[in-house]
Amino acid sequence: MFLLTGASMLSGCNSVYYQGATAGAGIGGAAIAAKVTNNAAVATGIGLGAVAGAQAGVKYTQRVAHAFAQDQIAQAAGPLDVGGIASWSVSHSIPIEDDERGRVTVSRTISSGALDCKEIVFSVDTAATQDKPAQSAFYVASICRDGNAWKWASAEPATGRWGALQ
């Protein structure tokens, strides 16, 4: 329950999520270490282990959120012919990232037949606010058919958008 409450307060703020998880793990690790040992080396090991575990957990949840967004974009683009345009959107059940929407088009067919793959261009559209006009950012990726579903096929998808995390 605490995790869901904390995640809902973060609502898309990845840096706060990452720093909060790391700080919480550090505090928790220090509390555990104080109960377990007086040895500074052992206490440091416990603290570093707790921080590493928290960082791994944050990265895992980010990868899951990114994979979900990638699947939504691939599903919207898969049935399109070259030049066709569709809308996509993502609503995250745990709000560690903002809900997003945009458009996607197929720029070219990479291969067809036994291995169907397409190159896509997608936008992430941000609505206008009182302080900023509406904006769109554009990215290129590849998708391939996996049975009846279309899946993300880029090894490093939109690195500027998601960093090194998939």
Q: What share of the chain is helix, strand, coil (3-state, %, to 5)?
A: 45, 25, 30
In this predicted structure, which of 117-126, 130-139, 152-161 has the lowest mean pLDDT? 152-161
Q: What percent of the chain has pLDDT over 90?
A: 33
Please compute Rg for the chain using Cα positions: 20
Nearest to residue 104, comparing CAs of 135, 143, 67, 133?
A: 143
CB under 8 Å to 45, separation ≥6 — which residues?
A: none
- pLDDT 10s digits, 26-74: 555 555 655 666 666 666 666 667 667 766 766 776 677 778 889 999 9
- This model's pTM is above 0.95: no
Quote the number of domains for the chain. Answer: 1
Q: What is the mean pLDDT of the chain?
A: 75
Average of pLDDT values for 129-153?
91
Alpha-carbon gap, residue 96 to 44, rounded angstroms: 29
Chain centroid to Cα 86, Å, comes to 21
What does the angle CA 69 – CA 74 – CA 79 come to, to the nearest 5 degrees? 145
Over residues 103-131, the mean pLDDT reads 92
- Where in the sequence is the domain holding 83, given as residue range(s)? 1-166
Q: Does the pLDDT value for residue 12 go beyond 50?
A: no
Task: Give the model's confidence band at 153: pLDDT under 50 very low, under 70 low, under 90 confident, else very high.
Answer: confident
Which residue did the predictor score with more confidence, 132 or 98? 132
